[in-house]
Structure formats: structure tokens, C-alpha cells
Structure 1
Amino acid sequence: MATYIIKMPDIGEGIAQVELVAWHVKPGDTVTEDQVLADVMTDKATVEIPSPVAGKVTSLGGEVGQQIPVGAELIRLEVEGAGNVKGDAPVTPHAAQQAATKAAAQPQPSAAQPAPAAERRQEEPVALAREAAPPRRAPEPTRAPGDKPIASPAVRRRAWELGIELQYVHGSGPAGRIRQEDLDVYLASRGQVAPTRASAAYAQRDEEEAIPVIGLRRKIAQKMQESKRRIPHFTYVEECDVTELEALRVKLNERHAGQRAKLTLLPFIARAIVLAVRDFPQMNARYDDEGGVVTRSGAVHLGIATQTEPGLMVPVLQHAETHDLWSCATEITRLADAARSGKASREQLGGSTITITSLGPLGGIVTTPVINHPEVAIVGINRIVERPVIRQGAVVARQMMNLSCSFDHRVVDGLHAAQFVQAIRALLETPALLFVEP
């Protein structure tokens, strides 16, 4: 046997080191060629590191949360044939035969020889369990050879801890993505139950759990801390009547059902921002506070705050000013899917000039969103609620929604912030204006 060392590859764009966020193997595991060994992160992009060879894991080159320099040892394998460590020699047939002969010469316990009492006591429960367990058929792969299972790092880690090979798990998510519940279904089909911790409703609980802040959570923490430390935030809230907008959205979806992308509220908000920043260019900008320079952008590179399983990510809709409602909806869906699957590229996660954030139906009444540094403004969308409103002396039911927008007070004055939000409000309350060029 020989040693094969896999080093941290150069994943481009001048990256000198990455953070190790997950191991999918452990010492003693046998791996195949192209099997994913680990997940690493740079900025907000998670990258899977596959094995270029088949072999047996002998050691890992770091712990989860550790920074791994490019070129450093990531993992060490024991392989057949020639390794890549100087001094290692391939195993010859003669050497292999000698090893097999030596192993065969070792004394083996006789089947008729009784085991010691202590060993019998340990083996009896195992033997009973094996007798009681029904015979199992070998699992069959649920996907074609060469198709890699799609799963988040959290699902991969849980599968690894449970000893499940994802190749045999059916994925119920989009594009066959494997979810946590798919692991439960697989275990149930094998006559197993995922370990749970039973507790009484009123039992005293004293356990604690230390959770390392690593990977995306560390990036988010650093980003939010940097934003709040550097930027003096202020938030402006305004209510908006979106009754007509919602009626238009529903009609457009009914008219183009199955032919065009389904419209959510986001494409309308995006278009309103594109039009509003033409009159308020100071909102579509990035502030270099160290250099003391504000760069206003003609292009609207719209950040779309997206909740993913590991944490918040902000993929960017490049040149939002060039998109109509349907292409905007298609692109937002594509970017959100890429972020949630961990496949978003560095280009898709950088360069935004202004950001939208929304929690959809959970959006609350008012929020105070944190600006995506080094931007100077963020538009927050709260949930739509039917409320009584007085119109021409009569109380009528209207679809109302609040806009909660935060601004960098070093760059944006309160008056201009209010005017900017009012401009967005006017466009949303009279949606025909979204399609009228000045």
C-alpha cells in the first residue's frame, strides 16, 4: 500500500485560505473516486472537495472551523499502487502475496472453541439482535451511476453520523434534493429509527450545548458586526396600500399560468426601486468609509436577502434595470435556488448596490433591517395584512403593507430617505406607473 496526500486545491480568484466547514469522512473510511470529502467556504460560497482517487482515510488535515491555506494537507489516504509521497513504492503482487500469507498464518479462533465468559456476555445481545432482525436485501441506488446526490452540508453531516450512504436515499426536494425527512424515511424503510431524546413536558432540563460559530454563521456574524460598527443606521417606516398591486399580480399570474414565471411581490418591488433610484441616485451607492468616497452606480445590482439552511445569503440580481417582471421573477428564483443549494458562485454573491429583504408572510409589522455593508440603503418588506382603512369617509378593507427601510446617516439625510420611500410607495400604490417611462 502507498500514501496519497490530497492538498487544499486552489479554487481561484486569489484565495489564499478557506474555512473548513464540514467533513464527510473520518479516519478508517473507505472512499471512492469523486466522493465528496469535505466542504470548505470562502466568502459566502461553499465548495465541495472531491477525492481524485479511491483509498482508505488515514488522517484528516484539520478540524471543522479551522482555516486551511491553499496547498496545505487536507487529507491523507492509503491507496493501492503508487502514492504521491516521495519514498512510497507501489505494492507488487509478490508483496501482496506475502502479506496475505502472513495474515493467513496468524492463529484464528476455532469455531468449536468456547469464547471467554466476558466475551460471551458481550456477544450474546448482538447475537440475539441478529437472530431477531429480518433478513435485508442490499439497497439499490436511487439514481444513475455518476449522478451525485444533492444535499445540504447539514443533511450530509447527519447522514454521515447515521452511517447512511446518500447514493441510496431518494430525494423528495427540487431536482431530487435530499432533505432531512428523506433520511427519516430511509431509516424507517430499513427498520431503523433515528435516535431521539425523550423528555417529559415539565421535566427539568439542565443540558447545555456549545455551538461553534463557523462557516456561513461566522461570515454572517462578521458582516453584521462590521455593518453595525461602521454604519450609523436609521430606519424609516411607511405603510403602503397594495390592494391594486395584489389584484394586478393575481390577474397576471392567471393570464400567464404555465407559460411564464409566477410573479411574487418581489419583481414589483425591484422595478419600483429601479425607477425610484433614478431620482435618488444617492441610495444606489457604495460607501468606502476608509477612502471617504461614495460611488453612485448607474446600474442597479439588486441584492436579494435569502434565507438558507446554513444562514442568510445575499445573491445579486445583476442589472435589475434591464429586467421586466417575468425575467426578474425567473432570475430571482434561480439565484435563490443556487443560494439554498450552496451552488451560488462568488460573482452571484457580490457587487450589490442596494438590497431587498423580506420574510414573506412572517415579515411582521415593522423591522429594522441591517444595511449590507458597504451599501447605504436597504429596503425591507413587511407582511401584507388586510386592515380597515377610511376612504372617502367610509371604512373599507384594504391590503396594507409596511416598508421598513434603513439608511446610512453619513450619506443619506432623513428628508431624502423619506422622499425615496414615498416614491416607492407611490409606484406600488399605482402599479400602472411601473410600466410608464418618464
Structure 2
Amino acid sequence: MARFTFKLPDIGEGIAEAEIVAWHVAVGDRVEEDQNLADMMTDKATVEMESPVAGTVVEVAGAVGDQIAIGAALVVIETDAEAGGTEVEAQAEAENPGREEVGALSLSPSGERDETPKAAMGEGPSGTSPTAPLPTLLRSATLPPEGEREQVLASPAVRLRARELGVDLAQVKVADGDRVRHQDLDAFLRYGAGQGYHAPGASRARPDEQVRVIGLRRRIAENMAAAKRHIPHFTYVDEIDVTELEAARAALNADRGERPKLTLLPLLIVAIYRSLPDFPMLNARYDDEAGIVTRSGRVHVGMATQTDAGLTVPVIRDAQDRNVWQLATEIARLADAARANRLTSAELGGGTITVTSLGPLGGIATTPVINRPEVAIIGPNRIVERPVFRGDDVVRAKLMNLSISCDHRVVDGWDAASYVQALKRLLETPVLLFAPG
């Protein structure tokens, strides 16, 4: 028998170490050639480590969450080959380390995705009855058998609401007639709150849970901490009337054919790249160690995307060469790839300016954190309808606050505000987005 030491290959330019995010083998397992051994995460992507030999695993390096240096032993495999009693050490070819993908990735670029990852929680303690006896109205929240429940007269909507609230309709006192109505449910809950009634499963204590910060979540934590530690942020917010923009978007969608549905994002990106030539300091990357600001001649837009495991930022390359429909197609492709863990490292790096949006959850204003080494990040907020004065008339308008955070070492406040005013002009007069440059 011979021993083969699989060393962690060089899986990215400038990468000194990688994190173990998943083991697919354990000591004693039989592995075949090209079988996946482990998933390793770098700053750019997750890479599958595939075995170059067949044999039995005799050693593995570290646990999930541990950092392994490039060139260090990752797995030792006992092969069937004869080796004269000596251990054979080898390293996999760095040119083909495995398939790259995002470790795990909703701020949806369309604003339509609204899922927040939740850690698995243990069951809480069972409920107890109130210490003081309650009227028959609140005797018990335990649901009786199905046949007995059906004897209570109530509409399907009331039954559904009662199930969602965990309320037994048999315990609800009817104010008028023999049918339980929504107002009877409301009275039941109000009275119960006053008497200390606790709905089953509501706000029960749960055991504390410790969750190790590893993988993509650790990368996010490290990147955000570095950005706030090194970059003196400032944020500027202005209000934009997007009434005409939303009307133009609706008209374009009505005649889109087989093309993807337009959201606000591709229109905003058009406004961003059309405004940037006059504000080159915003489309830049700052190497603060070398003291060099590189003002990019092309616009590579990072698209902050929320996924089940955390935030990632795929990049729309050469946005300035794409029209609104091409941008919509690329946005959809990158978002799908992000959520399916198919993004490559090339699709995750090289951005020159980033857009982040919470979609319908956008709130009044945001103060987004810059995606270092970029120097600016733009955040559209929720669109709301409000009355506004136009001359002597009061009209309905669709309004949206637009936030921009900038690196104050590179961008002055006046420049940031002037740039937002340029964006405002384009977004409030959408015909300019499609006019010849």
C-alpha cells in the first residue's frame, strides 16, 4: 500500500488559504478517482476538491470552518499501489482545481424575492394554563376533533384566520346569532389578552442556540468589518419622482414579447453608466495600501444579491455596452446562477461600482456599506405614492429615495450630491435614458 497526500492547490490568484465549508468524506471511507472530497471557500468562490486517486481515506485536515493554507495537506489517501513502504506526496494540478461555484447565496435585484434564512430552532417548552381560572370563553385552546369543530358555524375565511391564530372556534363567544364572525374573534383575543390568555405556540421561550460563523457568512462578516474599519463612509440621500419612469417601465413591459420583465434595476443601471463619464472618481477602485486610485474606463456593476446563506455580489461586466433589455437578461442570469450556486470567481470580482436594493422592503432610506475596494455604492429605496404640489395643483406621484454611500478619502460630498442630481435628472425624465449619447 502507498499513501497519497492531497495538498490544497493554488485555487486563486493571491489566495493564501481557504476555508473548509463541507466534508464529503471521512476517515475510513473508500473514494474513487474524481470523487469530491471537500468544498473549500476563498474570498472569490467555493471550489470542489476532487480526488486524483482511488483508495481509502486515512487522514483529513481540520473541521468545517477551519482555514487551510495553500500547499498544506488536506487529505491522505491509502492507495492500492505498491510504494515500497514509503509515503508518496503529491499535489493536484492547480490549473484544474475543480468546479467553481458560490458557496451559498435574496436582496433580489428585482425586489421580488423576500426570503430570510432562518437557523433551525429547538422546540420550546409546552404551554401552561393561566394560574387564575378563566371564563368558559377561554377554557382551552386545544382544538377538538375535526367533526366537533365543523359543528361551529363560521365562514371559510373565519376558519382559516382562527387556524392561523391557533384559536378553537368552539371557545369563541358569538355576539349576534349563531355564526362566529371576525369581530367575535377580535373580541375573544382582546378579552384573552386582558385575562392573561396565551395563544398556543405564540412567543414561547426557546432554548438558546449557538451558531458557528463559517463559510459565506464569515466572509461577509470579514469583508463588512474591513470595509467599515478602513473606509470613512458618508451617505447622501435624495428624493426622486419616478412617476414617469414607472409609466415608461409599464409601457415597455406591455410590449416585451419573449424578453424578461423589466424591473427598476436595469433602468437605474442605464442611468448610472450614462452619468458616470462626468464623475469618474465614483467609478473607481482604491488601493489604500499602494495609495493609488484607478478610475475605470468601463462600468462593471456589482449587483448585491441576497441568498439563503447570505449576501453575494455578482458583477455585470461592461454594463455601458448593454441596453436595458440586455441588462435585464444578464441580471436574471446572474441572480439565477447565484441562487443555484453556479457563479464562477470571474463573475464575482472586478466590480467598479455596486447597486444594492431591498426591493419592496426598502424603507425610507439606507446607508449601504461600500464593497471594498470600490468607492461608491448606490441603494434605491421603496417607491411610495404621495400627494405632491405641481404648481397650484396637488397630484399623486410615485416617489423614491435614492441613497449613495461613498469613500470620503476619494469622493467629496459635493461630487456625490452632484452625481445623484445627474441620476435624478435622467430618472425623472426617462426619455433621456434612451436618447443618443
Fold-level similarity (TM above 0.5):
yes
1:46 aligned onto 2:37: no
Query: What is residue 344 of structure 2 aligned with on the other side?
Result: 345
- For residue 197 of structure 1, the aligned residue among 109, 123, 130 is 123
CA distance in 2, matches of 1:333, 1:30: 40
TM-score by length of 2: 0.70
> What letter is aligned with 2:248?
L
The equivalent of 2:135 in structure 1 is: none
Q: Which amino acid aligns with 1:73?
A: A
* Deviation, structure 1 residue 374: 2.0
1:274 counterpart residue number: 273
Shift of 1:9: 2.9
Aligned-partner Cα distance in 2 for 1:320–1:151:
23
Cα deviation, residue 63, structure 1: 1.4
In structure 1, the residue matched to 2:283 is: 284
2:25 equivalent in structure 1:
25
- Conserved in 1, the CA contact under 8 Å of 2:4 and 2:87? no
The answer to whether the 8 Å contact 1:4/1:83 transfers is no
What's the secondary structure of 1:358's corresponding residue?
A: coil
Query: Do residues 360 (structure 1) and 286 (structure 2) align?
Result: no
Equivalents in 1 of 2:393, 2:84: separation in Å?
84
Deviations 1:108-150 (A, max 9, x none): xxxxxxxxxxxxxxxxxxxxxxxxxxxxxxxxxxxxxxxxxx9
The residue aligned with 1:239 is: 239
d(CA) in 2 for partners of 1:206 and 1:392? 57
Partner of 2:250, secondary structure, is: helix
What does residue 15 of structure 2 align with? Answer: 15
Give per-residue Cα distances to partners, 1:61-112, cap 9 Å, x unaligned.
1112222123322223455x327795489xxxxxxxxxxxxxxxxxxxxxxx
* RMSD, aligned α-carbons: 3.1
Question: Judging changes above 3 Å, is the alpha-carbon distance between structure 1 residues 256 and 410 closer, same or farther for their aligned structure 2 residues?
Answer: same
Q: Counterparts of 1:241-390 in structure 2 under 5 Å?
A: 241-258=241-258, 260-390=259-389
Deviation at 1:41, TM superposition (A): 1.0
Equivalent residues of 2:359, 2:382 under 8 A apart: yes
Quote the offset at 1:52 in angstroms: 3.5
Unpaired runs of 5+ residues, structure 1, are: 90-149, 156-193
Q: CA deviation at 1:403?
A: 0.4
**Hey, what's the Cα distance between the residues in 2 that align with 1:153 and 1:303?**
18
Indicate conservation of the 8 Å contact 2:286/2:373, yes or no: yes
Deviation of the 1:394 alpha carbon:
3.1
Which stretch shifts more, 199-208 or 329-338?
Answer: 199-208
More helix by proportion, 1 or 2? 1
Letter paired with 1:427 = L
Range with greater deviation from structure 2 (357-366 or 3-12): 3-12
- C-alpha distance in 2 between matches for 1:84 and 1:357: 56
Offset, 1:322: 0.7
Q: Secondary structure at the match of 1:218?
A: helix
Residues 48-57 or 416-425, more deviating = 48-57
Kindly indicate whether the alpha-carbon contact (under 8 Å) linking 1:3 and 1:83 is maintained by their aligned counterparts in 2. no
Higher mean alpha-carbon deviation, 59-68 vs 21-30, is at 21-30
Q: Over residues 177-210 of structure 1, what are the superposed CA-to-partner deviations in whole Å (9 max), with x where a residue is unaligned?
A: xxxxxxxxxxxxxxxxx99736443686463333
Q: 8 Å contact 1:5–1:73 — kept in the other structure?
A: yes
Distance in 2 between residues matched to 1:276 and 1:195, nearest whole Å: 48
**CA 1:307–1:202 in structure 2 vs 1: closer, same or farther (change >3 Å)?**
closer
Question: Contact 2:124–2:206 at 8 Å: present in 1 too?
Answer: no
CA distance in 1, matches of 2:327, 2:235: 27
Structure 2 SS opposite 1:238: strand
Paired-residue identity, %: 58
Report the CA distance shift for 1:295/1:15 in structure 2 as closer, same or farther (over 3 A).
closer
Match in the other structure for 2:216: 216
SS of equivalent to 1:64: coil
Unaligned runs of 5+ in 2: 89-99, 106-119, 127-200
Could you tell which deviates more after superposition, 391-400 or 369-378? Answer: 391-400
Using the alignment, how far apart are the partners of 1:332 and 1:366 within structure 2? 23
CA change 1:418–1:33 in 2 (3 A) is same
2-side partners of 1:302 and 1:85: how far apart?
Answer: 57
TM-score (norm 1): 0.69
Classify 1:273/1:85 alpha carbon distance in 2 versus 1 (closer, same or farther; 3 Å).
farther
Contact 2:273 2:299 in 1 (8 A): yes
* Deviations 1:288-309, CA, capped at 9 Å, x for gaps: 3333333222211111111122
Give the drift of 1:426: 1.2
For 1:64 and 1:243, the matched residues in 2 are separated by: 50
1:312-352 Cα offsets, whole Å, 9 max, x none, are: 11121121111111111122222233333333222222221
> Could you say if the C-alpha distance between residues 203 and 304 of structure 1 is closer, same or farther in structure 2, counting changes exceeding 3 Å?
closer
Distance 1:74 1:350, change over 3 A: same
For 1:85 and 1:382, the matched residues in 2 are separated by 68
Tell me, in whole angstroms, the C-alpha distance in 2 between the residues paired with 1:3 and 1:355.
48
Separation in structure 1 between the aligned mates of residue 60 and residue 27 of structure 2, nearest angstrom: 7
Partner of 1:67: 67
Work out whether residues 45 and 343 of structure 1, in 8 Å CA contact, stay in contact via their aligned partners in 2. no
CA distance in 1, matches of 2:433, 2:382: 21
| Range with greater deviation from structure 2 (208-217 or 357-366) | 208-217
Amino acid of the structure 1 residue aligned with 2:227: S
Q: Distance in 2 between matches of 1:330 and 1:206?
A: 44
